[in-house]
Amino acid sequence: MTFSLRSSLLAGVTAGLLVLASCSKAPAPAGGSGASTESIKVGEFASLTGKEAAFGQSSHKGVVLAIEEINTAGGVLGRKLELVSEDNQSRPGESATIVKKLISRDKVVAILGEVASSRSLEAAPICQAARIPQISPSSTNPAVTETGDYIFRVCFIDPFQGVVMAKFAKDTLKIRRVAVLTSVSSAYSVGLAKYFTERFTGDGGIIPLEQKYSEGDKDFKAQLTAIKAAGVEGIFVPGYYTEAALICKQARDLGLTIPLFGGDGWEAPQLIEIGGKAVEGCYYSTHYSPENQSPAVSTFIQKFKQRWNGEVPDAMAALSYDSAQVLADAIKRAQSTDGPKVRDALAATKDFAGVTGNTTLDAKRNATKSAVVVTIKDGVFKFVETVAP
Ligand code: PHE
């Protein structure tokens, strides 16, 4: 049986309900195609449940906050935005089905999502063929936006993130021999492993071995035993928090005390919940830190905490908030909700000030932003450094 967010909305377990409920009455139209008072439907697909539920829950909260704010300020083109959310349960194959539904049944004007590159890649050809713009908040694999000219993202891409962590290993950790442990069933992991390796070895580093696993694996002892035998000074794990936390635990169980480090996929409170002491002194790169003192970030944190029960927003929440704001801005500039017109306006996005910095969408529909490196100390995430593009 397919579990969609609709059923959970009925059960009242997500706050998406509030967004839908706030869309009944809209003020007079302010132009645009088919000048209408109806709400403008925006689709969102996310891993609200399942393996990477932390990603979907967090990005959903960022999107909901943005849409509520936009509506409180009068909406877009004099119309309210109506968010239609669907859950892919973190399962391969599900994103294609729900994105088709959002487009053909719900007639959404654009799609927000996904966090994970493999799931964004499933939706992208569908959005491209339907000429419905898709904005991924945080999928960093280059192939996502290469799918076509309707596919955008508001974050940096992995060729940059790979360089950030290769330089971090060499210059900050000062290590030369590193093992890589890659998830072969994740486009994100395979890409980030490659970009890291290219730069690290290009700079004179040595990668004596790359070990592999698949999404959902729970036992990494064989790979870690091989890594231990290779006598490396660090392990690069370009995967998601679900496996990364277990990998750190099992590495410590095997007596490996060397640093493990990864990319943005590590970001979730569950990394520490599952990893406990084993993730202490590990590092990862990501898009944003709540320790950033800028007014934009502190205002966002304040609003997010107020809306979501004191929760501190992470990178997925911040980028997703920005993705919804970038879309609303494009619809305003397009003065239309037509796919091709919104696409053109999105492509022209320049210096849009958001929580994760300024978004300028380049000719390849990617953003260029700084990365931050984070560590885990005394059971909490700690900002280490910002790396400019
Ligand atoms: N960049 C990851 C991917 O492309 C997703 C991710 C982004 C995860 C930000 C956590 C934080 O799959």
What is the mean predicted confidence (pLDDT) over 321-348? Answer: 98
For residue 285, give the nearest of 183, 179, 155, 184 by alpha carbon. Answer: 155
CB atoms inside a 10 Å sphere around CB 363: 7
Ligand 1 centroid from CA 118, angstroms: 10
As annotated, the residues of the chain forming the CATH 3.40.50.2300 domain(s) are: 10-156+292-369, 158-286
pLDDT in tens, 122-181: 999 999 999 999 999 999 999 999 999 999 999 999 999 999 999 999 999 999 999 999
Domain 10-156+292-369 superfamily per CATH: Response regulator (3.40.50.2300)
Whose alpha carbon is nearest atom 10 of ligand 1? 265
pLDDT the model gives residue 35:
60
Contact indicator for 153, 139 with CB cutoff of 8 Å: yes
pLDDT the model gives residue 1:
34
pLDDT in tens, 98-135: 999 999 999 999 999 999 999 999 999 999 999 999 99
CA–CA–CA angle 198, 199, 202 (5° rounding):
85
Query: CB of 115 closer than 6 A to ligand 1?
Result: yes
Whose alpha carbon is nearest atom 8 of ligand 1? 265
Q: Which residue has the tokens 């635990």?
A: 249
pLDDT the model gives residue 37:
83
pLDDT averaged over every residue in the chain: 93
What is the mean predicted confidence (pLDDT) over 226-241? Answer: 98
Distances in Å between the alpha carbon of 254 and those of 42, 129, 260, 308? 48, 49, 13, 39
Ligand 1 atom nearest the C-alpha of 115 is 5
SS (H, E, C) the chain: CCCCHHHHHHCCCCCHHHHHHCCCCCCCCCCCCCCCCCCEEEEEEECCCCCCHHHHHHHHHHHHHHHHHHHHCCCECCECEEEEEEECCCCCCHHHHHHHHHHHCCCCCEEECCCCHHHHHHHHHHHHHHCCCEEECCCCCCHHHHCCCCEEECCCCHHHHHHHHHHHHHHHCCCCEEEEEEECCCHHHHHHHHHHHHHHHHCCCECCCEEEECCCCCCCHHHHHHHHHCCCCEEECCCCHHHHHHHHHHHHHCCCCCCEEECHHHCCHHHHHHHHHHHCCCEEEECCCCCCCCHHHHHHHHHHHHHCCCCCCCHHHHHHHHHHHHHHHHHHHHCCCCHHHHHHHHHCCCCEEECCEEECCCCCCCCCCCEEEEEEECCEEEEEEEECC
What is the mean predicted confidence (pLDDT) over 259-272? Answer: 98
CA–CA–CA angle 327, 328, 334 (5° rounding):
85
pLDDT in tens, 181-222: 999 999 999 999 999 999 999 999 999 999 999 999 999 999
CB atoms inside a 10 Å sphere around CB 318: 32
Contacts of 230 (CB under 8 A, 6+ apart): 177, 179, 208, 209
One-letter identity of residue 323: S
pLDDT in tens, 2-36: 334 443 333 333 444 344 434 434 444 444 444 67
For residue 117, give the nearest of 64, 185, 170 by alpha carbon. Answer: 185
User: Interhelix angle for 53-72 vs 295-307, to 10°?
Assistant: 100
Query: CB of 161 closer than 6 A to ligand 1?
Result: no
pLDDT level of residue 252 (50, 70, 90 thresholds):
very high
Query: CB of 248 closer than 6 A to ligand 1?
Result: no
Q: Which CATH number fits domain 158-286: 3.20.20.140, 3.40.50.2300, 3.10.129.10, 3.40.220.10?
A: 3.40.50.2300
Query: CB of 117 closer than 6 A to ligand 1?
Result: yes
Ligand 1 centroid from CA 179, angstroms: 21
Query: CB of 116 closer than 6 A to ligand 1?
Result: yes
Query: CB of 264 closer than 6 A to ligand 1?
Result: yes
Does pLDDT of 291 surpass 80?
A: yes
What is the mean predicted confidence (pLDDT) over 37-50? Answer: 97
What is the mean predicted confidence (pLDDT) over 297-312? Answer: 98
Structure token digits, residue 319: 């980028």
What is the mean predicted confidence (pLDDT) over 271-282? Answer: 98
pLDDT the model gives residue 86:
98
Contact indicator for 224, 248 with CB cutoff of 8 Å: no
Query: CB of 239 closer than 6 A to ligand 1?
Result: no
Q: With pLDDT > 70 as the criterion, what percentage of the chain qualifies?
A: 91
Does pLDDT of 277 surpass 70?
A: yes
pLDDT in tens, 84-93: 999 999 999 9
Q: Which residue has the tokens 């002892």?
A: 221
Ligand 1 atom nearest the C-alpha of 139 is 4
